[in-house]
Amino acid sequence: MIGLEVVFDVSVAVLLVVLALESLYTPNLFTSIAFFIAFGLVMALAWVRLQAPDLALAEAAVGAGLTGVLLLDAAREIAAVRGVERTPRSMVRLTSLLVAAGVGVALVAALLEVPPRAAGLAEAVREALPLTAVEHGVTSVLLDFRALDTFFETAVLLLAVITVLVLQAHQHVRIIPWELSASPVLSGLVGLLAPVVLVFSGYLLWAGTHAPGGAFQAGVLLGAGGILLELAGVHTVSRLPRRALRWLLSLGVAGFALLSGTLLLAGRGLLELPGAGARTIVIALEIAIAVSVALTVVSLVVGSNLRLEPPEQEP
């Protein structure tokens, strides 16, 4: 009798592979994006099976939502949507198949070498958890043990959003109005959803101190809410003064930089949090990260479509 768990795992795995195949090899790019969105949803289920609820939260918002939104938006503009896309030459295809198959075989060989049971760092984290400012393992890794990684992650996000905004600033083409032409039903939905999103992302931020959740999940969700508002024509982020937007986008990096500078001046190690007040510091950092992640997400999606001039009327 095969266990129920195994059936579940294998179903999720098979669905993932099928969805990946479909989204990679469907000739029609639009269908491919639809499959990719479904792929993100099933990825979230895979994270659930791997007991990684933090990742499931992030994937539900990013993989299944925001990446799909970005792709749909770009596909609208770029002409290579179908037909015009060239199929690869058979030589290229053969080589790529061989390379990919070789890498795959090597990885499987490596996988077979991996011991099926390993201690990892779970024990170490659990032991050190009382020493940190928070009670949730993933959050303590992100903002305490490995805060340096998170520092640089916020810097990467800032870099990406700078890329998008700079590119947008140098476009002289007509920018298509981004919001949906006024639909009362949509505005109604946004009106109802926006407060839910706001409260819920606050809840996720708070939950991060002791349960799955945290700055990134909260920020991404808040960003999704901001995008919904922009779509309904309620301009929040795109109406922000440029200077304020810049500051808010760099709030996460600035927070980390300020903290590490202060700590270094105080004679402590880089990002070595003081025992007293560590919790306050971590929560303040989380809020800063969540705000800049949210604005980054909105800018990444809407930024490529921002209007340079005051809104022009739809034809």
- CA dist 275 and 279 (Å) reads 9
Distances (CA, A) of 305 to 89, 119, 285: 34, 48, 30
User: In this structure, are residues 190 and 229 in contact, taking their beta carbons and an 8 Å threshold?
Assistant: yes
* Region of 72-80, 234-242, 246-254, 256-264 interacting with another protein (CB under 8 A): 72-80
**For residue 63, how far is the Cα from the chain centroid?**
7
Among the listed residues 132, 133, 134, 161, the single contact to another protein using CB under 8 A? 161
Among the listed residues 132, 133, 134, 141, the single contact to another protein using CB under 8 A? 141
28 binds another protein (CB under 8 A): yes
Please return the burial class of 42, using the count of CB atoms within 10 Å of its CB with bins 0-12, 13-18 and 19+: buried
* Region of 109-117, 253-261, 262-270, 277-285 interacting with another protein (CB under 8 A): 109-117
Looking at the Cβ atoms of 281 and 301, the one nearer to another protein is 301
**Interaction pattern, residues 222-251, with another protein; x per rule: CB under 8 A:** --xx-xx--x--------------------
Looking at the Cβ atoms of 41 and 278, the one nearer to another protein is 41
b/e sequence 121-156, b meaning 16+ C-beta within 10 Å: eeeeeeeebeebbbebbbbbbbbbbebeebbebbee
- DSSP class of residue 41? H
The vertex-191 CA angle with 185 and 197, nearest 5°, equals 125
User: In this structure, are residues 284 and 258 in contact, taking their beta carbons and an 8 Å threshold?
Assistant: no
- Three-state secondary-structure class, residue 170: coil
Q: What is the largest CA-CA distance in the chain?
A: 66
Looking at the Cβ atoms of 225 and 255, the one nearer to another protein is 225
In the complex, the smallest distance separating the C-beta of residue 278 from another protein, rounded to whole angstroms, is: 17
198 binds another protein (CB under 8 A): no
200 binds another protein (CB under 8 A): yes
- Residue whose token pair is 């991404």: 220
208 binds another protein (CB under 8 A): no
Among the listed residues 131, 148, 180, 258, the single contact to another protein using CB under 8 A? 180
* Region of 172-180, 239-247, 260-268, 273-281 interacting with another protein (CB under 8 A): 172-180
Among the listed residues 205, 248, 293, 294, the single contact to another protein using CB under 8 A? 293
* Region of 43-51, 241-249, 250-258, 266-274 interacting with another protein (CB under 8 A): 43-51
